[in-house]
């Protein structure tokens, strides 16, 4: 939703009957009514195999061997690449020796403490040294264990991003591996205003440009905890199984049905004098038919109506046609023939 589209819609709707309403501050009004509403959130994104995973080394190091190439089928647990472990092996040996030495010292110091030769503080110092040595040994063994990459499931190597003798880091994706076992997802982005209305498990209908007329049921399966550099939040929709073939990168549109209900007043776009993504300006008419310019909170735009979440009260009259020809404080003539509502 962009401000320009709001203004364009407002102008297009306000043109209808505008000349008849311009004279003598004649307007039509609508009565404000708040009602529970479940928003439909529309997103666009790309299809991705859910099992299309980037695989990385857990530690930094120099690539010693590469055992898988692009397009090659792999089995779960198969080693894809290894790091040079010479330095890691030395760290393990050194850490093991220090741990063994501190363990022996602790046994000896416990006996000395029992014989009242050393103080409790001295014994605690040796115990602390042993804990530090144990932690260092665990780190060294962790590095030893994770100096290789294994396939997490049966699949195919889609991309290899490393070379022999290359220095790699844990943040670097060494391989992209795909599997057919976990289905497809639609990855898209939403604004912060859309995000607050979404919950895991929300249902959606997905349509594909490549398959006109076909729709796929989906469920919101993942919501990012933080926004990206563009200020948007990434979401994933898990698609239900389907009979036709899907491909990574297909453009898809989705309509997500929010489970959350919010109290909003649905006002025709023709009532808005101006609007941006968050706020809109309209005219409220008092009991003396005086127009009051009012700023309201805009929840969303849908099917020619603006959903107002704050700034109005039930029962108030809002100018629905003719707002362009009055100003704050204008005395108006309400020519509304019947209650205007949503079709």
User: Which one of 232, 260, 288 terminates a domain?
Assistant: 260
- Domain span at 274: 3-37+261-334
Q: What is the tens place of the pLDDT at every residue in 116-153?
A: 888 888 889 989 999 998 988 888 888 888 889 999 88
Residue 185 and residue 324 in one domain: no
Q: Which percentage of the chain shows pLDDT scores above 70?
A: 90
User: Which one of 155, 176, 197 terminates a domain?
Assistant: 176
Residue 339: predicted pLDDT: 43
CB 79 within 8 Å of CB 175: no
State mean pLDDT over 33-57.
86
Nearest to 257 by CA among 330, 199, 338: 199
Q: Would you give the DSSP letter of residue 240?
A: P
Q: Residue 343 falls within a domain, yes or no?
A: no
Residue 3: predicted pLDDT: 46
Number of structural domains the chain divides into: 3
Give the pLDDT band (50/70/90) at residue 228: confident
Nearest to 147 by CA among 55, 58, 86, 67: 58
Q: What is the tens place of the pLDDT at every residue in 246-271?
A: 777 889 999 998 888 888 999 999 99
Residue 60 and residue 130 in one domain: yes
Q: Would you give the DSSP letter of residue 287?
A: T
Residue 338: predicted pLDDT: 42
Strands 26-31 and 333-334: parallel
Residue 340: predicted pLDDT: 42
Q: What is the tens place of the pLDDT at every residue in 287-328?
A: 999 999 999 999 888 888 999 999 999 999 999 999 989 999
Q: Residue 91 falls within a domain, yes or no?
A: yes
Residue 91 and residue 118 in one domain: yes
Q: Residue 342 falls within a domain, yes or no?
A: no
Residue 146: predicted pLDDT: 80
User: Which one of 176, 210, 243 terminates a domain?
Assistant: 176
Nearest to 44 by CA among 183, 184, 189: 189
Residue 231 and residue 270 in one domain: no
Residue 192 and residue 156 in one domain: no
pLDDT reading at 4 higher than 50: no
Give the pLDDT band (50/70/90) at residue 181: low
Residue 180: predicted pLDDT: 63
Residue 128 and residue 187 in one domain: no
CATH assignment of the domain containing 203: 2.40.30.170
CB 319 within 8 Å of CB 13: no
Q: Residue 130 falls within a domain, yes or no?
A: yes
The verdict on pTM exceeding 0.85 is no
Residue 70 and residue 169 in one domain: yes
């Amino acid at each position: 939703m962009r401000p320009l589209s709001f203004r364009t819609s407002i102008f297009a709707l306000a043109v209808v009957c505008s000349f008849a309403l311009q004279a003598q501050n004649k307007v039509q009004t609508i009565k404000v009514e708040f009602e529970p509403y479940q928003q439909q959130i529309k997103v666009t994104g790309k299809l991705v195999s859910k099992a299309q995973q980037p695989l990385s080394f857990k530690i930094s190091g120099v690539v010693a061997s590469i055992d898988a190439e692009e397009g090659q089928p792999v089995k779960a647990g198969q080693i894809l690449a290894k790091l040079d472990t010479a330095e890691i092996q030395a760290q393990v040996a050194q850490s093991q020796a220090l741990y063994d030495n501190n363990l022996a010292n602790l046994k000896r110091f416990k006996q000395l403490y029992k014989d009242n030769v050393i103080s409790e503080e001295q014994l605690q110092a040796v115990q602390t040294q042993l804990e530090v040595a144990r932690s260092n040994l665990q780190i060294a063994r962790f590095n030893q264990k994770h100096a290789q990459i294994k396939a997490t499931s049966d699949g195919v190597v889609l991309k290899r991003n490393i070379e022999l003798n290359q220095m790699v880091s844990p943040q670097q994706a060494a391989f992209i591996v795909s599997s057919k076992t976990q289905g497809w997802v639609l990855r898209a982005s939403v604004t912060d205003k859309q995000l607050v209305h979404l919950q895991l498990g929300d249902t959606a209908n997905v349509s594909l440009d490549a398959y006109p007329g076909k729709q796929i049921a989906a469920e919101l399966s993942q919501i990012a905890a933080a926004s990206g550099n563009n200020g948007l939040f990434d979401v994933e929709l898990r698609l239900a199984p389907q009979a036709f073939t899907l491909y990574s990168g297909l453009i898809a549109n989705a309509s997500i049905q929010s489970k959350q209900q919010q109290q909003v007043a649905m006002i025709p776009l023709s009532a808005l004098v101006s609007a941006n993504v968050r706020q809109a300006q309209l005219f409220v008419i008092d009991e003396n038919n005086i127009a009051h310019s009012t700023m309201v909170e805009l929840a969303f735009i849908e099917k020619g109506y603006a959903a107002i979440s704050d700034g109005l009260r039930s029962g108030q009259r809002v100018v629905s046609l003719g707002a362009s020809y009055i100003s704050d404080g204008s005395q108006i003539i309400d020519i509304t023939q019947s209650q205007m509502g949503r079709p």
